[in-house]
Amino acid sequence: MIDQARIDALGDMLFEAQRTRQPIDKIAALEPTCTIEDAYRIQSRMMDRRIADGEKVIGKKIGLTSKAIQDALGVYQPDFGILTDAMLFQDGDTIDLGTLMQPRVEGELAFVLKHDVNGPGVTALDVLQATAYVTPCIEVVDTRFQDWKIAIQDTVSDNASCGVFVLGREKTDPRDVDLRLAGMVVCKNDEVATSGCGAAVQGSPLNAVAWLANTLGPLGKPLKAGEVILSGSQAALVGMQGGDTLSVEIAGMGKCNVHFTGKALA
């Protein structure tokens, strides 16, 4: 286990990388002995710095849930991160890529909870009963490391590679649709870029949220009423540049759009 002083130093480095948009070396180069447990400690330090800087926690995200994303990053287990108000955009907003570093787009389903969900022992049915509504979501993933050739310790340390996210306006009762079978289409500038369905996310987005509740519950971190939970990408990552418009549409649940301006680092 890495000592706490070194954990704090690594978390501070990621905080500064996010603040200054200057990427850093990968964890393997900075601390070769880093375990996944250490990586979550680094994430916690980075997010504590962001919260101390004025950001407010509004939810959580699940990453690395689909085979397409796992294959793209060479990582083969889910992870999780924290969502803050500074990351939130709404359907139709414009995002300046100059505020990001190496962004890519994922299409997924966001859950908004009406009851707390606290593992262990949480089932997909428990998640269904605790959900106020679901809505299409565009997550703009990003990395504070030098490129996207990252290991699990890198993405975990880096708050599950979360950049910002965009929520749709339509609110759907998840009991009214089959979340496994609902098809999703991601378009860039009105051309289909990729597609998928809910079954690509751990068999169902409900299963992914249950996994998160059962992972965080023993750590004393329930999923809380009112929180936004991003359930994980249903298809491959999509690149973008300034001037592009991206949309995510999920059958029976509406559409979410975002426009990009400016230029990212890569």
Asked whether the beta carbons of 161 and 143 are under 8 A apart, the reply is: yes
Rounded distance, CA 240 to CA 70, Å?
A: 20
The pLDDT value recorded for residue 14 is: 98
The pLDDT value recorded for residue 227 is: 98
pTM, 2 dp = 0.96
Strands 131-141 and 162-167: antiparallel
pLDDT tens digits for range 87-96:
999 999 999 9
Phi, psi values for residue 208, rounded to 5° = -65, -45
pLDDT tens digits for range 27-53:
999 999 999 999 999 999 999 999 999
pLDDT string in tens for the chain (266-residue length): 899 999 999 999 999 999 999 999 999 999 999 999 999 999 999 999 999 999 999 999 999 887 766 776 667 778 999 999 999 999 999 999 999 999 999 999 999 999 999 999 999 999 999 999 999 999 999 999 998 888 889 999 999 999 999 999 999 999 999 999 999 999 999 999 999 999 999 999 999 999 999 999 999 999 999 999 999 999 889 999 999 999 999 999 999 999 999 999 87
Q: H-helix or E-strand containing 59?
A: strand 57-63
The pLDDT value recorded for residue 64 is: 87
Helix pair angle (4-20, 36-52), 10° resolution:
60
Q: H-helix or E-strand containing 69?
A: helix 67-73
Asked whether the beta carbons of 14 and 24 are under 8 A apart, the reply is: yes
